[in-house]
Chain A
Amino acid sequence: MTQMNDGHRLFLQSFMSRGILNAKEVKQLFKICCLKYKIPHPENEREAQAPLLEFVRTINNHIEPFHMQIRKGVSEDDGSSSYGLVCTSESTITKLASDYTPSELEFFKKLIEIIVASDNAEVGSTETLNLVSRLENVKKLSKDDAEDLLSRLETNKWIKMTHGKISLATRSLLELDQYILEIYQDDVEKCNICKKLCLKGQTCPSCGTKLHFHCASKLFEKEENPKCPKQGCKKAWPHEIKRTPRKEETIYSRTPEKSQKRKADV
């Protein structure tokens, strides 16, 4: 097993601090760790992909006994990738880990419940704040407390709040997919293509097969007449396919806002 060096350790500490990083941030972090500890790092972004995976694999090998793993997750909204540090067990010890009080955790569990029950895996803020009345066996939370909690959950990237709607962010899906699949087995579906938990997606009106937006996009990329992928169904797929153009993500793209910001810093 490859030994860890300070580059690996800084990378790991960054994940322990931030919880989740998107693909672009991960590439930057890898470069920073390599430069700082004089680890060879290819200039070309595409060539850096394999060393990065190897780097993460080494770390994962060492942290696996501690029930920790760095895993890749995909956003259900736009198909973008992120990497998160997840806990792979729920032992008494990790229960101590929480930045959140037992009441707050209970609230979050109830939030998951209503999200799972909702149409598009999103719920309104009023409905959410009313959850305070449904907390049992824990210290009560006021609506103000709940609002503060929601704000912190958003800052720490567990939930997304857009246009008054609250949904689970990639970090929650990464960390809690097993939990959700287990507790809500009959109420949730897996995506037919990637076989992962699918909260937000498109459903075949005929047989109920569900697909992530991004999985559907990929599947039907070149299809004129998209059809349900389920054997025994194959009915026409009625939903609009988000044909997202493949973005060539380079870490060297200079955006005008960025260069202006640097000028302001100096």
Chain B
Amino acid sequence: MPRTNKQPDNDRIPSSQVAATQAEKAHSSMDRGEQEKKLHDLVQFLLIMDQKKLPIKKLDINKQVLKEHSKALPVMMKLAEEKLRKIFGIELVSLEDKQKGTYILVNTLDTDVDEQLESDPNLTLTPVDWSDENHAKTGLLMVVLSAIFMNGEVMVDSQLYHMLRKLKVDQDVTHPVFGDVKKQLTVEFVRQGYLEYTRQPNTDPPVFEFRWGFRAKKEITKRNCLDFVSQLYEKNPEEWVSQYQVVVEEEGEEEEGSSAS
């Protein structure tokens, strides 16, 4: 980007606007055929990269797909977002904070079979096929996420391991299904964006904290977790006053968000 001469603050055009118009220029400089091709490549690329469950970096998008047209990224991403939603039922999410400049894909469809269908003996097919290993990992994840939520949205590592040990999932013992449990929690789930694992400052020996990761926040609602725990304990969700409060707040935010857009 060419360096502009220093201008007084009130005259400065926000850089996001500059980038946006540059993107539009870059996009319209491509001929129609190329625009279409790049868009389709981009959608395919996003679908494929998301399979690895890692956030997709703008850098890789430019390197592997857009190449000489990387200035057009903002426009192309908007178009790709629309295609993903309309054709595949998938939402493109731009991450913030630490992961700014990366994207993940989140399903907008609920792929579970409804209860009414479950009772039909002729409809035994589950639309989306999961391996046993995946099912088990999701079960573990749900337990961990629920525990963290019920504990006030953060949990110290020793606490979490203590709880899991009671469920016969021991971080020091190779688990028949999960293998190295500690690695599953601190590496795998963190890499995939389900958990956040941070070190508490000034602790020696080091103490770590677990929180929900960006993907968990997008894929699972706090209400899901509270309902899950409520079912386990055969209680009403409202009986957990502070957690229920958090759930209601989250849902209030969601409503505001959707009515604003």
Q: Interface residues, chain A, CB within 8 Å of chain B?
A: 3-4, 6, 9-14, 16-18, 25, 28-29, 31-33, 35-36, 62-63, 65-67, 91-94, 96-97, 251-252, 254, 258-259, 262
Report if A4-B87 is in contact (Cβ < 8 Å); known contacts: A14-B127, A65-B36, A97-B48.
yes
Cβ–Cβ contact B109 & A13, under 8 A? yes
Residue in B36, B45, B87, B123 whose CB lies within 8 Å of A9: B87
Complex Cα–Cα for A141 and B116 (A): 48
Cβ–Cβ contact A28 & B124, under 8 A? yes
A-B pairs with beta carbons under 8 A, tally:
85
Given A32-B117, A258-B121, 8 other A-B contacts at CB below 8 A?
A12-B87, A14-B127, A17-B129, A63-B87, A65-B40, A93-B45, A258-B124, A259-B121
Chain B residue contacts of A259, Cβ below 8 A: 121
Cβ–Cβ contact B51 & A97, under 8 A? yes
Q: Which residue among A32, A254, A259, A262 has the maximum number of chain B CB atoms within 10 Å of its CB?
A: A32
Q: Is B247 an interface residue (CB 8 A)?
A: no
Q: Interface residues, chain B, CB within 8 Å of chain A?
A: 36, 40-41, 43-45, 48-49, 51, 64-65, 86-89, 107, 109, 111, 113-114, 116-117, 121-125, 127-129
Chain A residue contacts of B127, Cβ below 8 A: 10-11, 13-14, 17, 29, 32-33
Complex Cα–Cα for A4 and B108 (A): 14
Cβ–Cβ contact A93 & B65, under 8 A? yes
Cβ–Cβ contact B121 & A66, under 8 A? no
Cβ–Cβ contact B117 & A36, under 8 A? yes
Cβ–Cβ contact A12 & B125, under 8 A? no
Chain B residue contacts of A32, Cβ below 8 A: 113, 117, 123, 125, 127
Which residue in chain B gives the minimum CB-CB distance to A259? B121
Q: Shortest distance in angstroms between B199's beta carbon and chain A's nearest beta carbon? A: 34
Complex Cα–Cα for A227 and B33 (A): 52
Which residue in chain A gives the minimum CB-CB distance to B118? A265
Complex Cα–Cα for A35 and B117 (A): 8
Q: Shortest distance in angstroms between B227's beta carbon and chain A's nearest beta carbon? A: 21
Cβ–Cβ contact B122 & A28, under 8 A? yes
Cross-chain pairs A/B with CB under 8 angstroms, 21 sampled: A9-B87, A10-B127, A11-B127, A12-B89, A13-B107, A13-B127, A17-B127, A17-B128, A18-B128, A25-B125, A28-B125, A32-B113, A32-B127, A35-B117, A36-B113, A63-B87, A66-B43, A93-B41, A93-B45, A94-B44, A262-B121
Cβ–Cβ contact B44 & A67, under 8 A? yes
Complex Cα–Cα for A251 and B111 (A): 21
Chain A residue contacts of B88, Cβ below 8 A: 9, 12-13, 16
Chain B residue contacts of A3, Cβ below 8 A: 86
Residue in B48, B64, B113, B121 whose CB lies within 8 Å of A94: B48
Which residue in chain B gives the minimum CB-CB distance to A252? B122
Closest 4 CB pairs of A and B: A9-B89, A14-B127, A17-B128, A28-B125
Which residue in chain B gives the minimum CB-CB distance to A263? B121
Chain B residue contacts of A36, Cβ below 8 A: 113-114, 117
